[in-house]
Structure 1
Amino acid sequence: MVKQLRTLVILSCFFIPLTPFAQSANIKGTISTSDGSPVANVSVGIDGTSHGAISKADGSYIINNIKPGTWVLQVSSDGIITQKKEITVGSGETLTIDFSISETAKELQEILISSRKNTEHASVSLRLKTPLLETPQNIQVVDDKDLKAQQVISMSDGLIRNVSGAARLEHWGDLYTNIVARGSQIQAFRNGFNVVASYWGPLTEDMSFVDRIEFVKGPAGFMLSNGDPSGLYNVVTKKPTGVTKGEVNFTLGSFDLYRASMDLDGALSKDKKLLYRLNVAVQAKGSHRDYEYNNRYVIAPVVSYRLDDKTKITLEYNGQFANMTEVGSYYVFSKDGYGTYDRNLTFTNPGLPPTKINDHSGYVVFEHAFDKDWKLTAQGAFFNYKQTGMSSWPSYMDSVTGQVMRNVGVWDAKSTMELAQAFLNGEFYTGKLRHRLLAGVDAANKTYYADWGQSHDLDTPDALFDQNNPTYGVPANGYPVFDRSTPIEERAALGWGVIKQRYSSLYVQDEIAFLDDKLRLTLAGRYTDVKQVYGVDVPYDAAKHITPRVGLSFSIDKNTSLYGLYDQAFIPQSGVLTGGGKVQPVTGSNMELGIKKNWFNSKWYTTLSVYRILKQNELTADPASNPNAPTSIVLGEKVAKGIELDVRGTVLPGLTVIANYALTDARVTKVAKDVTAYKVDDIIPGYAKHTANAWVSYELQHTVLKGLGISGGFTMLNGRYTAWSLEGKMLPDYFKLDGGIFYAKDKYRITLNVFNILDEYLYSGSYYALPSVANDWNSVKPAYYYQTEPPRNVRLSISYRF
């Protein structure tokens, strides 16, 4: 002990004389908005050091023990423009440096709400005023920060790794997004509108104009009830924020990917009543398969005008214009199973004309707040989609050699949709009970016309396409010449290509809060009147149905809630029942239990849910009926059930995590007498039994390398029943590993990601059967079709904010 004390004394003798010459300095000040209000939770730091502070509720901050000298002081926070000041501080000095950000207190509040919207609130278009933590349903949100970090450029470009249980049956060349969850395809929404006009739509959204995507698991009566009960995704487009800012982004990637986008946001009037947002993008994109391409450009302007403090009108247009290879060119067909050919093999042929798509959508939104508790939102939308192009599919496969006859068919399409909705959100009390009311009406008129009635074989029986040794000269049977001289409406009627739907519905929901808002009971119901046509242009089939919704949510504490839910959806169907009677719609009833929790002051968020979806009343052909006058019987029952876990947020400073897992099981649970096509316990194809995803990112916080980070993640699918048919071989398990680095400093961000790092041969597909004699579907042999994903590939993005 004496020796240790002596050492300390000697060391003190060296350091004590130096302290008068190196007294530390201090920096203090306040952060305020442009209208003088204090700003809390803003980061103030000295570049290149670990010294920093967070502003308090009164806007004040203080940084102690600064080495004298010249430094750069930086102020930053989510959503505000970073400010820097060069300062010089002397020995022992306390320097006062104040900052005034350009935003007002009101604008800053809107920004902060927006930056924390993932764990707090749904978008306006999702209609719910209850915080997501307290909403009795599994709702997950993917925002633009996640999309940029993962370099997601369209809805079909790796987006679903961010949501538990989501998978894709096929990829369709980025034409449309077919996402399955909880055992079947989920509905596509944009800004609160159901935009499904056919099975093959809508055109997948380019991410340049997308702010966030909200995934609602299971039926959601507050949005719509006539659709599949597995759920929906709602694409929310970017809106003006009132903050003048902008961003440009350039992306280069493997297989000839060249992409540029620009996002402009600001005010058109000094009083900031008239605001705008403009997003544009242009893309040239090749493929790992020769002769394939997907080029497009996008323009999405938005203008909003605030009439007064209570009323706002927003006008928006989304235009997407695509020029791409014919749909289906990326499929490979094999008699021997999946993954049997080179993954770069393509069925297309140079010289074939492109598929061209013009996709227009326009919106008008009226919002009026009567007071702080009551708000009316009314909006209308018009969609116009035109497609001129082709699809490819083999017409014959040699059962010995596996060589095929490639066929291209015309696929021209026209779709129009007129949609309107209005909903009222309100809050009031009856005694000590708080009521949160939602009441709304929805109406839509959708038409889809497609010409599938013309086709052309590229190859001949004497010159089949050899997938082991493909040649891509002028096809043996020449190029197709299709007749487009008559209107598409007439061509569609001849080829069973007409799909129409009209519906109107009324919805009322009351959330009643008990026990000082700890217990919340949701009672709701929707009445829907729907008419639809599928195939030929005949009189509409009609269905009227009431779907109930009951939910219960209990807050264990302010950060934890338990919930239970019962909700319904229905699907109209037509036919003639054996023995007579009225055909009932298919009903899907969802029962769900879950727990949600915000951790460490809402820095990260978890949801654990279990569910059971029961489908009833589905019709199937009666095998005992007269072939000349076929009738139908009720198939029985199908059940999809599973467990879902989602984790997202900032776990530690600089460390963000998105991780999820889902166990899914969908089976036939009851079969009617004489039904032979199904039996009890049969798997219902269209899902993966086990799905797991993760994306982890870490950014250095307090070093000279601050802003440098590393990120990576994986996607795993096991027990893949994602094919259309369970005949033949199952799809093998799937594992994809991605990762990269990024660097963010001041207004710049550079992101480099490597996808499919392990260079795995990845694909999706299904069992199929093809004619083994040309044009003879009475003589078919087993086959498989699949489409491959790219091998190891790289993307580099550079963005600049101003």
Structure 2
Amino acid sequence: MFYSLSSRGAGAGALTLVLLSTTALAQEALPTIDIGAQAASTAAARTDKAREKAESTAYARTVATAATKTDTPILDTPRAVVVVPKQVLEDNQVLNTQDAVRFVSGVQQGLGVYYDAYIIRGFSSGNNTYRNGLKLNAIPGTEDTAFLDRVEIVKGPAAMLYGRIQPGGLVNFVTKRPQEEAAYSLQEQFGSWGLSRTSLDLTGPVTADKSVLYRAMGVFDHADSWVNFEHRDKGAFSGEVSWRPSTQFEANLGFEYYHDADASRGGYAGMIPVIGTTYKVPWLTGRPAYLPRNWTQSDPQKYSQFPDVMEREMVTADWTYRFNDQWKVTNRFLYVHTNEDQQYLLAAPAALNYQTANLLRRLSWSQAMRDTWSINLDVAGEVKTGPLDHKLLFGFDYFDYHSLYLGDNPGPKAVPEIPAFNVWAPVYGGINWSVLAAQQAYAHNNKSRNQSIDAGYYVQDDISYDDFIHFLIGGRYDIAFDASSELAFATVSGSPCYPLCDGHYNPPWKGNPTYRKISPNGGLLVKLTPEYSIYASYSESFGNSNATARSASGTQFKPQEGQQFEIGAKASLLGGKVTASIAAFDLTLTNVLTADPVNTGYSIAAGKVRSRGVELDVAGQITDNISIIGSYTYDDAMVVKDNTIGTGAILGKRQPGVPRHAGNIWAKYDTAPGEKEGFSFGFGASANGLREATATNAYALPGYVRFDTMIGYRTLLEGHAVEAQLNVVNLADAKYFDTTVNSQYAVYGQPRTFIGSVKVKF
């Protein structure tokens, strides 16, 4: 008797155990044991992990889950989506989330950024970002870059999958997850402005059978700034445990904690005043004042007296059950609690006397407490109807955001506690901090509350014919609600906070009627060859920008709504090592509030903004030694309908913060790719055209070109991998403005900066 183990036509992955007698070889085999479903499920569960491991050091990624919430390849997705892998972030030593997106076409840093916000295809993302596909609101530094695996950017309206969202698109931060193979690393970064940053990353199995995995990461970051009196002290921890009792089921539970004392957040200390039209030297008007980059309106005692501190705790959980290699269900959960002490010494619009050059300052203080719940349930599967293959998605998500503000944001007034100073020859000091502390305590009686709730149901079908034609269609039904209130105690002369916190009012809680919206999405893609595809798509979105506004009649405005038509082409070159895409889009935003021509002081939803452009992205390994990532953007974003007249007219004006032309390129040369010892060299350039700084286009931020470079060396030291790296940001020390705040102040971009790093892997 002997045994034969073989695979016999029982379907993919089927395994047949045959027991034969030496005397009866012709007899029929014993009943088969079909373990095909389990084998297929195992293969499906490991496919994503194998792909991620293969792409871990690459510049090109082939899949972005944010675009369709499925594992559809980017080449088969009929809309623009770009991925920035962690290798690009590490090679550039990117230390914050704002810089993490600068490699992508059509994406700019938001204006006056305090919370994470971006301008995508000409429109602000608001204060919304996404973490592993779940929505966050009003978060400064969504994720520490040491915790990131990649950044996914979906461009254009994405309401079909994500509910209320601004029309430009979304930024999704994907975090590192526990790994089956043990790996430990310690990194120390150092450089200009006293940078000292320590990162620890530990991952591996907890049990011998690798059914329980863990990952623990921590960061401590301290630095000053090129702006006088700016400091930051940050600490962050991320821990996650994965449980995989079988190949069909996986669950993850995570926790993150952030303590962030950052006087540089938002760039408020370094706000450069813009010279207005009343200045006595006409040719200097309409531009930021010619002040040095280290100039500040802050004070050397501000950081110690009124530090800006944010604490954030986050709990995350998700689980996936694979019924087989075709169907699975995934549930995701996120809860965030944030405490913020926002304290800034800064000016406000119209605070500068152009004749005397005296600037009035104010101490803005508020305490914000936020709670965010974000939940998602997806059922995804594949079916076949005749010659058509269907990749189906059924989903539900729920978002609940609550906030409570305590404090005051007084306007600039001539008060003895905060003396004015000359912007050309500032004299610091002389601030009565004890009086300000008493005023701050009293101002905490001022309260305001906000609430935002959104629940949505969606269905999507990716229909494929012979992997030649892909038709993506989907729809969503949303139920949305917003409410806000403000409660401020009346103040009189002689009270502890007079005169800084006077003039408040007591409006009642304002709740908007529940708003319901259907959001469609559709796209057609044709694969000309296995490496090239062309597509066309249409998508819609709606936001909450008009949530608390009212017309003269007191009726609620509909949310702003976006519509986009897009065509494009994609390519997967050199065996998938290089990805490239080009897209042309026409995106409009309607229901934009504009002045009511009949009722002065009120608004009507008659405004319209249009953004048209072309985007090009390329990333990957063009030779064994050379990797690149780059982009180019042309965007003509302007107001095409508005009723405002006079000096505030914006009809025909360009969108603030949006250059007509922008581009960047980064290339790395590795002397021994894949080897444990070798050198690497990197060089890149980023260029931005002129950007209007205000809605009325009253002044603009000039264009600029910035060069960056890198040199790295890796080797083995006593059996441990050691990596040393030096980056120089803004190599030529170009002097440029990065963004604008409150329409009357500009913020300088980063001067020449050195960042060194030593990483040891165990």
TM bin (shorter chain): 0.7 to 0.9
**Structure-2 change in CA distance of 1:591 and 1:675 (3 Å):** farther
Q: Which residue among 180, 183, 189 is the counterpart of 1:245?
A: 183
Q: Which residue of 1 aligns with 2:102?
A: 161
Q: Which residue among 664, 679, 695 is the counterpart of 1:725?
A: 695
Q: What does the per-residue CA deviation read over 1:534-557, in whole Å, with 9 as the maximum and x for residues that have no partner?
A: 454322343110010111111111
Quick one: percent identity of the two aligned structures? 24
Offset at residue 398 of structure 1 (A): 2.3
Code of the residue aligned with 1:615 in structure 2: it is L
**Structure-2 change in CA distance of 1:461 and 1:583 (3 Å):** closer
Q: Which residue among 453, 461, 465 is the counterpart of 1:510?
A: 461
The 2-side partners of 1:530 and 1:611 are apart by: 28
Q: Which residue of 1 aligns with 2:308?
A: 355
More moved, 375-384 vs 176-185: 176-185
Offset at residue 410 of structure 1 (A): 0.5
In the alignment, is residue 367 of structure 1 matched against residue 320 of structure 2?
A: yes
Q: Which residue of 2 aligns with 1:567?
A: 539
**Structure-2 change in CA distance of 1:479 and 1:701 (3 Å):** farther
Q: Matched residue pairs, number?
A: 669
The 2-side partners of 1:529 and 1:326 are apart by: 38
The 1-side partners of 2:471 and 2:414 are apart by: 62
Offset at residue 239 of structure 1 (A): 0.6
The 1-side partners of 2:246 and 2:394 are apart by: 24
More moved, 179-188 vs 479-488: 479-488
Q: Which residue among 271, 279, 288 is the counterpart of 1:331?
A: 271
Q: What does the per-residue CA deviation read over 1:18-58, in whole Å, with 9 as the maximum and x for residues that have no partner?
A: xxxxxxxxxxxxxxxxxxxxxxxxxxxxxxxxxxxxxxxxx
Q: Which residue of 1 aligns with 2:490?
A: none
The 1-side partners of 2:205 and 2:583 are apart by: 43
In the alignment, is residue 644 of structure 1 matched against residue 582 of structure 2?
A: no
In the alignment, is residue 116 of structure 1 matched against residue 66 of structure 2?
A: no
**Structure-2 change in CA distance of 1:507 and 1:398 (3 Å):** same
Q: Which residue among 471, 484, 490 is the counterpart of 1:521?
A: 471
More moved, 434-443 vs 135-144: 135-144
Q: Which residue of 1 aligns with 2:136?
A: 195
Verify the 8 A CA contact 1:326 1:389 in the aligned structure 2. Answer: no
In the alignment, is residue 132 of structure 1 matched against residue 49 of structure 2?
A: no
In the alignment, is residue 470 of structure 1 matched against residue 430 of structure 2?
A: no
Q: Which residue among 357, 363, 367 is the counterpart of 1:408?
A: 363
Verify the 8 A CA contact 1:154 1:204 in the aligned structure 2. Answer: no
Offset at residue 702 of structure 1 (A): 8.8
The 1-side partners of 2:420 and 2:439 are apart by: 26
Q: Which residue among 487, 496, 501 is the counterpart of 2:452?
A: 501
**Structure-2 change in CA distance of 1:558 and 1:345 (3 Å):** same
Q: Which residue among 326, 341, 346 is the counterpart of 1:388?
A: 341
The 2-side partners of 1:297 and 1:287 are apart by: 18
Q: Which residue of 2 aligns with 1:179?
A: 118
The 2-side partners of 1:550 and 1:470 are apart by: 58
In the alignment, is residue 557 of structure 1 matched against residue 557 of structure 2?
A: no
Offset at residue 487 of structure 1 (A): 11
Code of the residue aligned with 2:469 in structure 1: it is L
Cα RMSD between the aligned structures?
Answer: 2.9
How do residues 200-599 of structure 1 correspond to structure 2 at under 5 angstroms? 201-325=139-263, 328-335=268-275, 336=285, 337-352=287-302, 353-394=306-347, 396-453=351-408, 455=410, 460=416, 464-475=420-431, 480-482=436-438, 491-493=446-448, 498-514=449-465, 516-534=466-484, 536=486, 537-572=509-544, 573=546, 575=549, 583-599=557-573
Instruction: Look at both structures and tell me which one has the larger radius of gyration over its CA atoms.
Output: 1
**Structure-2 change in CA distance of 1:685 and 1:290 (3 Å):** closer
Offset at residue 767 of structure 1 (A): 8.4
More moved, 109-118 vs 646-655: 109-118
Q: What does the per-residue CA deviation read over 1:518-574, in whole Å, with 9 as the maximum and x for residues that have no partner?
A: 101111001000001245432234311001011111111111111111111012435
SS in 1 for 2:214: strand
Verify the 8 A CA contact 2:367 2:406 in the aligned structure 1. Answer: yes
Code of the residue aligned with 1:606 in structure 2: it is A
Q: Which residue of 2 aligns with 1:81?
A: none
**Structure-2 change in CA distance of 1:555 and 1:391 (3 Å):** same
Verify the 8 A CA contact 1:728 1:767 in the aligned structure 2. Answer: no
The 1-side partners of 2:249 and 2:741 are apart by: 55
**Structure-2 change in CA distance of 1:254 and 1:262 (3 Å):** same
The 2-side partners of 1:541 and 1:724 are apart by: 32
Offset at residue 451 of structure 1 (A): 3.4
SS in 2 for 1:652: coil
**Structure-2 change in CA distance of 1:673 and 1:704 (3 Å):** closer
Code of the residue aligned with 1:564 in structure 2: it is A
Offset at residue 428 of structure 1 (A): 0.6
Verify the 8 A CA contact 2:628 2:668 in the aligned structure 1. Answer: yes
SS in 1 for 2:659: strand
**Structure-2 change in CA distance of 1:704 and 1:148 (3 Å):** closer
Code of the residue aligned with 1:431 in structure 2: it is G
Code of the residue aligned with 2:78 in structure 1: it is P
The 2-side partners of 1:467 and 1:415 are apart by: 36
Verify the 8 A CA contact 1:244 1:267 in the aligned structure 2. Answer: yes
Offset at residue 202 of structure 1 (A): 4.1
Verify the 8 A CA contact 1:531 1:542 in the aligned structure 2. Answer: yes
**Structure-2 change in CA distance of 1:340 and 1:311 (3 Å):** same
The 2-side partners of 1:533 and 1:763 are apart by: 37
The 2-side partners of 1:703 and 1:356 are apart by: 43
The 2-side partners of 1:122 and 1:703 are apart by: 25
SS in 1 for 2:87: helix
Q: Give the TM-score normalised by the residue count of structure 1.
A: 0.78
**Structure-2 change in CA distance of 1:485 and 1:304 (3 Å):** same
Verify the 8 A CA contact 2:654 2:695 in the aligned structure 1. Answer: no
Q: Give the TM-score normalised by the residue count of structure 2.
A: 0.82
Offset at residue 423 of structure 1 (A): 0.5
The 2-side partners of 1:768 and 1:442 are apart by: 35
Q: Which residue among 726, 745, 753 is the counterpart of 1:785?
A: 745
Q: Which residue of 2 aligns with 1:622?
A: 596
Q: Which residue of 1 aligns with 2:705?
A: 735
The 2-side partners of 1:548 and 1:660 are apart by: 29
Q: Which residue among 742, 757, 761 is the counterpart of 1:797?
A: 757
Q: Which residue of 1 aligns with 2:665?
A: 694
The 1-side partners of 2:67 and 2:462 are apart by: 18
Verify the 8 A CA contact 2:373 2:399 in the aligned structure 1. Answer: yes
Q: What does the per-residue CA deviation read over 1:177-236, in whole Å, with 9 as the maximum and x for residues that have no partner?
A: 22111111124101111102x4xx344421111111100011124531312110000011
The 2-side partners of 1:125 and 1:561 are apart by: 17
Verify the 8 A CA contact 2:203 2:215 in the aligned structure 1. Answer: yes
The 2-side partners of 1:577 and 1:464 are apart by: 39
Alignment gaps of 5+ in structure 1: 1-103, 770-783
SS in 2 for 1:471: coil
**Structure-2 change in CA distance of 1:703 and 1:419 (3 Å):** closer
SS in 2 for 1:441: strand
Verify the 8 A CA contact 1:295 1:323 in the aligned structure 2. Answer: yes
Q: What does the per-residue CA deviation read over 1:267-304, in whole Å, with 9 as the maximum and x for residues that have no partner?
A: 00001000001110101111012211111011000001
Q: Which residue of 2 aligns with 1:5?
A: none
Offset at residue 678 of structure 1 (A): 4.2
Code of the residue aligned with 2:463 in structure 1: it is I
**Structure-2 change in CA distance of 1:670 and 1:292 (3 Å):** closer
The 2-side partners of 1:125 and 1:672 are apart by: 36
Verify the 8 A CA contact 2:91 2:710 in the aligned structure 1. Answer: no
Offset at residue 143 of structure 1 (A): 1.5
Q: What does the per-residue CA deviation read over 1:575-618, in whole Å, with 9 as the maximum and x for residues that have no partner?
A: 55578987433210111111110111011110100111122222
Alignment gaps of 5+ in structure 2: 1-42, 276-284, 487-508
The 2-side partners of 1:586 and 1:387 are apart by: 29
Q: Which residue among 711, 730, 754 is the counterpart of 1:756?
A: 730
The 1-side partners of 2:289 and 2:610 are apart by: 32
More moved, 160-169 vs 236-245: 160-169
